[in-house]
Structure 1
Amino acid sequence: MAENNPTLRRRRLGGRLRELRKQAGLTVEQAAEVLLCTPSKISRMENAQRGASQRDVRDLCAAYGISDEDLIDQLMTLAREIRKPGLKHEHGDLGNDALYTYMELEAGASSITEFQTACFPGLLQTEDYARALIRGLLPRMADDVLERRVAARMARQPAVLERPKPPRYWAFIDEAVLHRRVGGTEIMRAQLEHALVIAEKRHVTLQVVPFDKGAYMGAGSPFVYLEMEEGVGSHVVYIEILVRNEYLERSDDLDVHREAIDQIRATALDPRASLECIAQMMRTYMN
């Protein structure tokens, strides 16, 4: 999945162009004058909100006084590869274009911290649980789109958690997740068992926030904090709600979510006690 990743290539190129502009001592406005474009175009290229064309790269390198042919060739190659088909071509229509961006960011993360209050995280879900969950959340979704989305979710798990250098994955779930019978008793029992198996991986930690802790920072606001690999831009907070998906990268937003992670970690049961809690809940679904 990481090889088929225009989002990461766009972020690498944008970050490199920002560095080169700053090294040249130019402002965004001055770079825009060289390209005869608006400053917003330069900002959007540097922030990976749009791709830079090979012509853009060539003109910016000239403006920044770049004479290293190897560097120019690397940047031109990135610009060319951004145009290659991404995960939409691989997985088909998933009903939400924001999902492709998220999967590509996830594939480039060195560490993933996820907090969920209503359901198990996607990287921990069984196929049956995922199907029942998506159908419950989006009852009007066409069957073929549903099945493609389930297949994409199942493909994410080995692509992220079983790759040669997997990210550090830390999942926090509110105890409510264990009680919400998504898909019925048998599906929930299998889901809980599956989560226990995944949690045994050395790079995975799963913690439960119990009901008796009351209110805590982050309660009611699920999110994913992605620490990106070096060279692919800033860290990202991903928030998914019913009507839209948001990607937060401002330092203030990242600081708040890091604080929330610290608070949630301190509030949750320790990893061993969390697994015991899940195992105990699984036994109730067996009766």
Structure 2
Amino acid sequence: MADRHSPTVRRRRLSAELKRLREEANMTAEQVGDRLDWSRGRLTNMELNKWKRPDPVIVRALADLYGASEEVREGLVTLARQSREKGWWARYGDVFTDSYVGFEAEASVISTYQSMVIHGLLQTREYAAASDRAVHAKDASATERAAEARMERQEIMDRDDAPRLWAVIDESVLLRPAGGRDVMRAQIEKLIQISEEANTIKVQVLPLEVGLHPGIAGAFTILDFPNPVDPSVVYIENRTDGLYLEEPPEVETYRDAWDDIRVMALHPEASATRMRDLLRTHYE
């Protein structure tokens, strides 16, 4: 897999930059539409990142209209070209129903609390298949595709510039059977191995005895990016699509919850011990 680069993130950055330039030029969306003879919603959709393949010619025309410098103009055109590329996940359009993997591909830090299943970047193939069967119980081919896609997704952790992954897993996830005793044993053994050997991955277990905690509303993932112009994103998964929170107050609310959850969880060494105890008491 190539170094960190995602057309999803570049397209979002392009949308934000075009909006910023328009506002600096003191132009309304309606004024831009009139000047370029566009429909009322065309520019709005661009600025809201509701486009798939930005046209470099159109981007250059907007940059010219806003009076951008040559350097800025060429930078925007480059972003437009990068935004038109296809990520590896495009081959799995039947598996990935939203943009999450595109954001994950360029993230530098992934902080995730999981309350129902192991995070996809940490799953064994057998656990991935078992978790997908819970959704596609009657479609074996869909399950195989999902497991294949998840294994390819994990390749970002083998890159030289791999993101730092910090996962807090609710203990109930480790007690919830998925695919049988052997599958769960192999999955927990993998978590133990990762927690002890991987330099860029930290795994913590949130024990049941802590009782109620800030994560009771459900699982979430915070994605941070290496370029400061790309704002952080909170991702909340649901059955049909994902919810993305990007406004700073929303992100801070979840970051505060994340800080509380990771402090309440067992530290990594104690988490590995707890997982070994679970292997002995539940999966021998």
**Is the structural similarity TM-score above 0.5?**
yes
Going from structure 1 to structure 2, the CA distance change for 1:38 and 1:270 (only over 3 Å counts) comes to: farther
Q: Is the CA contact (8 Å cut-off) linking 2:136 and 2:143 kept in structure 1? A: no
Going from structure 1 to structure 2, the CA distance change for 1:165 and 1:39 (only over 3 Å counts) comes to: farther
The 5 A counterparts of 1:33-52 are: 33-37=34-38, 40-51=41-52, 52=54
Moved over 6 A (4+): none
Aligned residues: 281
The 5 A counterparts of 1:146-161 are: 146-159=143-156, 161=157
User: 2:241 is matched with which residue?
Assistant: 244
User: 1:72 is matched with which residue?
Assistant: 73
User: 1:195 is matched with which residue?
Assistant: 191
Deviations 1:60-112 (A, max 9, x none): 111111241x5433322332343333345433522x421xx211100111110
- Matches of 2:27 and 2:228, distance apart in 1: 21
Select 2:100's aligned residue among 99, 102, 109: 102
Deviation at 1:260, TM superposition (A): 0.9
Select 1:185's aligned residue among 172, 181, 188: 181
Q: Is the CA contact (8 Å cut-off) linking 2:165 and 2:200 kept in structure 1? A: yes
- Matches of 1:2 and 1:30, distance apart in 2: 41
User: 2:223 is matched with which residue?
Assistant: 226
SS at match of 2:134: helix
Deviation at 1:38, TM superposition (A): 5.5
- Matches of 1:151 and 1:234, distance apart in 2: 30
User: 1:278 is matched with which residue?
Assistant: 275
- Matches of 2:82 and 2:174, distance apart in 1: 43
Going from structure 1 to structure 2, the CA distance change for 1:133 and 1:221 (only over 3 Å counts) comes to: same
- Matches of 1:60 and 1:243, distance apart in 2: 35
* CA RMSD of superposed structures (Å): 2.3
User: 2:263 is matched with which residue?
Assistant: 266
Q: Is the CA contact (8 Å cut-off) linking 1:2 and 1:107 kept in structure 2? A: no
Deviation at 1:138, TM superposition (A): 2.9
Deviation at 1:235, TM superposition (A): 1.0
Going from structure 1 to structure 2, the CA distance change for 1:232 and 1:127 (only over 3 Å counts) comes to: farther
Gaps of 5+ in 1: none
Deviation at 1:248, TM superposition (A): 1.3
Deviation at 1:27, TM superposition (A): 4.5
SS at match of 1:147: helix
Moved more, 118-127 or 16-25: 16-25
Q: Is the CA contact (8 Å cut-off) linking 2:111 and 2:221 kept in structure 1? A: yes
- Matches of 1:283 and 1:35, distance apart in 2: 69
1:165 corresponds to 2:161: yes
Select 1:53's aligned residue among 55, 58, 72: 55
Gaps of 5+ in 2: none
Letter in 2 for 1:45: M
Q: Is the CA contact (8 Å cut-off) linking 1:224 and 1:239 kept in structure 2? A: yes
TM-score computed with the length of structure 2 as normaliser: 0.89
